[in-house]
Structure 1
Amino acid sequence: MTTRDEPLRDNAAWAAGVAELSILIPFKGDDPTPLLAALGREACDVELVVLDDGTGDETLAARVAEAVAALPFPARFVRLARNVGRAKGRNRLVAHARAGHFLFLDSDMLPDGRHFLRDWLDVVARQNPPVAFGGFSMHQTPLTPAHALHRAMASHSDCLTADCRARNPAKHVFTSNLLVRRDVFESEAFDEGFAGWGWEDVEWGMRVARRWPILHVDNTATHLGLDTASTMAAKYEQSAANFARVIAAHPAVVATYPSYRVAKVLKYAPLRGLWRPALKLYALLEGAPIKTRAFAMRLYRAALYVEAV
């Protein structure tokens, strides 16, 4: 079955009907088949929709179609001819979902537990949460010098236990491993005004937290797709406009963020055109101590956000 702009490929089980949980996975260039294979090892009451957001790679698409066909539960492969972006792509995924709860997973994730899906189904059955975040880890990520900076920064700020995340529930909401109840998403979809990389999931969490509680649980998945330092810097450079959009929508919340407070201080520092590039150069220097590189990269990100505060 196809629509004009969304060629679809369903596996044999798709016609079986509604499952308890819809797993929703977008990808753009990354290969989601290791994740599909890992999920496929759990034969439980779920369905899966994977969306190619305009990759344009026929070889990769063939591998994904083959992986979808092999899954033991209902699965659909959606291909977009052009990239629509992170927020709109996830909204498009929801349009294909049939269950009462959605589990958003990034395509470069890999479940840490053997009963990852069953554990999420247990959360749904016992607590029926409006929103829940399972957390992510670096447990299965290879140690490589090129990705050492990303590993250090993510381990410090993102790879947190449920108890730590629950102290500021809305701040730690990412689509890497996110459970959402259907009625919540029907009221609060992702803001399609975001472009490029960053902040669309955090902003969504801020909106949702005004109306519903956010549960944090320890049901982690590994983030395999660590970035090089240069890719991190490029993503931060893309994200400045998105950060400004979040400030406009949630000024009181963002004012509590360290990146905002540091950006406010740096706004009045002279000669920004000299020291901001120097921060980036140092952060990219693989031979420098990792802690000082991470500090430089955080300062560089805050310096980029100066224009938004």
Structure 2
Amino acid sequence: MLSILIPVFNYNVLPLVKEVAKQCDTIGINFEILCQDDASDSHQNTLNAEINLLPNCSFFKNETNLGRGKNINLLAQKAIYDWLLILDCDTFPAQNNFIKKYIDIISDLKNNILFGGIIYENKKPHKEQFLRWFYGNKRETHSLLTSNLVVKKDIFIQFPFDESITRYGYEDLCFFSVLKANHFKILRIENPTFHLNLETSKVFLNKTRIALENLVFLYDSDKILKEESKIITSFELLKKLRLISFSAYLFKNNRSKIEKNLLSQKPSLFLFDLYKLGYFCNLKKSS
């Protein structure tokens, strides 16, 4: 019936596995939960090893870091059931009928793919984590992600994650771009998971820069359509207006001021958008 795939990196995923397994047992379905740590050097894996003691649950650890996409691809190849539910390790079902909602819907599905959504807790986090929480609440709750996704195994095996993407960022965009190009429908339903693991603003900003380097790679490799990224669409417009060098210059001269705002308790998402576009222009100008 359902194979639940959880890619793991430096995180205690045992509470999530126990909750999802309990929900599956409650409705009496055939299921398995496969978790795979991507070679993190973490004491959390001592706790994660307890997953192997739970019925229908397995925990594996990669010897080398493969990247999130390839890690999920390997989990999908191990799966024994027709339907896959992909969950990020740092999420948790918002409702106790999370699994049942999916099961009730997939019985009528053919080639559609379901995204249940992601939400954040209303309570404000520590001031050092504010950018991640604020951005997540304002942007990610409206975005299409693979952190809570149901898809038929045969579709996923045919159209897996692009394994050339080994670093953080935009692997979801590339994955959905391929599915849309092959005429699959992605349906969003109200069946969210909480995103629990908030990085500090400094860590999130650094990961954003890494993600933009990934986006340059995807753009240069023609792996995504420009219409699917606002950054690339804006970059193309600046390119037509011959403003790439000027935009990169403005970014360099104002970077520290923008970063000061983004690391504060009142970050501006407008400035964050300008920051990402400016950094992208700077990368392209240097390439």
Compute the TM-score of the two structures, normalised by the length of structure 2.
Answer: 0.86
1:231 aligns with 2:203: yes
User: Secondary structure at the residue paired with 2:197?
Assistant: coil
Deviations, residues 147-191 of structure 1 (Å, cap 9, x unaligned): 22222212222213xxxxxxxxxxx43221011111211211111
Q: How many residues align?
A: 271
Contact residue 132 and residue 214 of structure 1 kept, 8 A: yes
1:48 aligns with 2:33: yes
Contact residue 241 and residue 308 of structure 1 kept, 8 A: no
CA distance in 2, matches of 1:139, 1:126: 32
CA distance in 2, matches of 1:144, 1:62: 28
CA distance in 1, matches of 2:228, 2:106: 32
How large is the Cα RMSD of the aligned pairs?
Answer: 2.2
1:31 aligns with 2:12: yes
1:179 aligns with 2:158: no
Contact residue 104 and residue 178 of structure 1 kept, 8 A: yes
User: Partner residue of 1:64?
Assistant: 48
User: Partner residue of 1:284?
Assistant: 263
User: Secondary structure at the residue paired with 1:297?
Assistant: helix
User: Partner residue of 1:243?
Assistant: 215
CA distance in 2, matches of 1:308, 1:184: 34
Q: What one-letter code is carried by the residue in structure 2 that aligns with 1:229?
A: S
Compute the TM-score of the two structures, normalised by the length of structure 1.
Answer: 0.80
Gaps of 5+ in 1: 1-19, 161-171
Contact residue 177 and residue 228 of structure 2 kept, 8 A: no
2:160 to 145, 167, 189: 189
Q: 1:256: how far off? A: 5.4
Greater CA deviation, 105-114 or 138-147?
Answer: 138-147
User: Partner residue of 1:122?
Assistant: 104
User: Partner residue of 1:156?
Assistant: 138
- Mapping of 1:201-240 within 5 angstroms? 201-211=172-182, 212-240=184-212
Contact residue 128 and residue 263 of structure 2 kept, 8 A: no
Identify the structure with the greater helix proportion: 2
Q: Segments of 4+ in structure 1 off by > 4 A?
A: none
CA distance in 1, matches of 2:222, 2:144: 17
CA distance in 2, matches of 1:210, 1:203: 11
Deviations, residues 125-162 of structure 1 (Å, cap 9, x unaligned): 122443211101113776332222222212222213xx
Gaps of 5+ in 2: none
CA distance in 2, matches of 1:256, 1:202: 8
Contact residue 141 and residue 224 of structure 1 kept, 8 A: no
Greater CA deviation, 240-249 or 78-87?
Answer: 240-249
